[in-house]
Amino acid sequence: MNEELFNNNSIVMDTFKEPSFSLGNRIKRLIWGFAYFFLFRYSPKPIHAWRSLILRLFGAKIGKGVHVYPKVTIWAPWNLEVADETGIANGVNLYSQGKIIIGKRVVISQGSHICTGSHDYTQRGFPLFTKDISIGDNVWIAAESFIHPGVVIGEGCVIGARSVVLKDMPEWMICSGHPCKPLKKRTLINFLKND
């Protein structure tokens, strides 16, 4: 055990110097917390347009036909961009200390955690760092998946349930596992019949 790290005189509180901990950011988050609790979290499920409006008022860029369910946790809506016809299920955690950019017709299933922030454990005080996450169009992130900071999920990609995504995933692939890996090509079957 490294005694120096546990000596009270050597602890540096670097963690609390990042922009996420600035006074302005803390005030915005406090106001968002009240709005989230009173106007968002307990709103009826079907009124997606209301929740989209609340998110826009707090700086989120929200497209048309977006369904963000009331039990989605959002750390900072001003760091969130969601394109048209995307659905984000109850129980999803959008830990948006950095930017989270979500494409069109994306499904993010229950219990998934999209995490842009972490800590540098190689330094005293575990300073915070953030890396943006980008999720392409037509992606499905299945239940209880974890997306690490800095990851890019390619267009059309499917992330299997309970996957832990540590690195970028390619377009139009089925990917799964801990750590998540591409398994096979995703092919779409057209069920529409021409009359």
162: three-class secondary structure by DSSP: coil
What is the distance between the alpha carbons of residues 62 and 172, in angstroms, rounded to a whole number? 24
Q: Which of 48, 67, 113, 119 is catalytic?
A: 119
Beta carbons of 36 and 28 less than 8 angstroms apart: no
Give me the phi and psi of 101, to 5 degrees please: -115, 120
Task: Tell me how far apart the terminal alpha carbons of the chain are, to the nearest angstrom.
Answer: 74
Catalytic annotation on 119? yes
DSSP 112-158: -EEE-EEE-TTSTT--EEE--EEE-TT-EE-TT-EE-TT-EEPTT-E
Cβ neighbors of 81 (< 8 A, separation 6 or more) are: 60, 61, 99, 100, 101, 102
Question: Tell me, what amino acid is at 149?
Answer: P
How many C-beta atoms surround the C-beta of residue 68 within 10 A?
A: 26
| Catalytic center residues | 119
